[in-house]
Structure 1
Amino acid sequence: MSTENNLSLDKTDLSILRLMQENSRISNVQMAKELDMAPSAILERVKKLEQKNVILQYTTRINPARLNLKLLAFISMKASDSIGCSTTALELAKIPEVQEVHHIAGEDCYLVKVRTTDSASLMALMRDHFSKIPNILSIRSTIVLETVKEQQQLVIPEK
């Protein structure tokens, strides 16, 4: 049995994750103050969370509009891949403008999130990249007019 399935996180681990998710730049000293622990104990716990693949990476959230990436679209795709085959998904994931690739249930096979500068660049993305992936049978685009909420944060249980 995999250790990931048996991974148990205690209340302190969950508190560390909550603090780090709010601000990944929080120092061990600050977390130690918040949790009434020694900074060395916090460091040890964070390293264990990294080793157990609970913490996968540290990222910076950048305002896409500041990089002129103003067009957000979700693209539903039907592909001829057999169930469980990820060839198309892996090809989609290689495209820089593709932010997310989800294998989905239902009529379509994939839901892909992309960001581009404008509708012309979205069209070029479809023509120059998506159309060259042999298994894609159909594409339906949904362009986002306004984003009310977008986040990567998970709901961390209190325990």
Structure 2
Amino acid sequence: MIDAIDRKICALLQDNARASSTEVAQAVSLSVSAANERIRRLSSSGAIRGWHASLSPDLFGASFCAFVLIDMDFDGEAEAVAELSARQEVQELHHVSGPHSYLMKLRLADTKALQSFLTEVVKPLPAVSRTETIIALDTAKETPAIALRGSADA
């Protein structure tokens, strides 16, 4: 069970994964060993799924953001999802309700890279029957953070 202290620890680490054990312990009024034990428990339970660096897409040739709505046939869908999920260009792949099967978020270099990805990777998949692409002109907010109800910041 995740309690209020665990939520506060998660909120702090979500904001700054490099926070020291001492900083975490002080923020939640626990000893360093108690805070470390909670972090270990949160990690082993899957509440904390990993520790990642957030990179600037502009500095790594991936400043172009596009969203692709994909219509898929059931036959071959699992294979197509596995293939797309394995690609580094694919940041997100969601099975969605409505007229489309999936919503995919891509980070690429430019429109030429998008065209290549669609023609060489997506459209050859047997399950893919149709795509519709939306290009992001600007990004006002992009975060992997989730809202944590019950933490001091929520």
TM-score class, shorter-chain normalisation, is over 0.9
Write out the 4+ residue segments of structure 1 that deviate beyond 4 Å after TM superposition: none
In structure 1, the partner of 2:109 is 117
* Identical-residue share of aligned pairs (%): 26
Count the aligned residue pairs: 150
Alignment of 1:43 with 2:39, yes or no, is no
Deviation at 1:89, TM superposition (A): 1.5
2:5 paired with 1:12: yes
Is the aligned partner of 1:68 residue 2:61? yes
Deviation at 1:116, TM superposition (A): 0.7
TM score, norm. by length of structure 1: 0.90
Q: Secondary structure at the match of 1:129?
A: helix
Question: Once the 2 structures are TM-superposed, how far is the Cα of residue 36 of structure 1 from its aligned partner?
Answer: 1.8
Aligned equivalent of 2:84: 92
1:65 alignment partner AA: D
Output the aligned Cα RMSD. 1.2
Structure 1 residue corresponding to 2:19, chosen from 13, 26, 35: 26
Q: Which runs of 5+ in 1 are unaligned?
A: 1-7
SS at match of 2:123: helix
Deviation at 1:71, TM superposition (A): 0.8
Shift of residue 132 of structure 1?
2.1
Unaligned runs of 5+ in 2: none
Give the TM-score taking structure 2 as reference length.
0.93
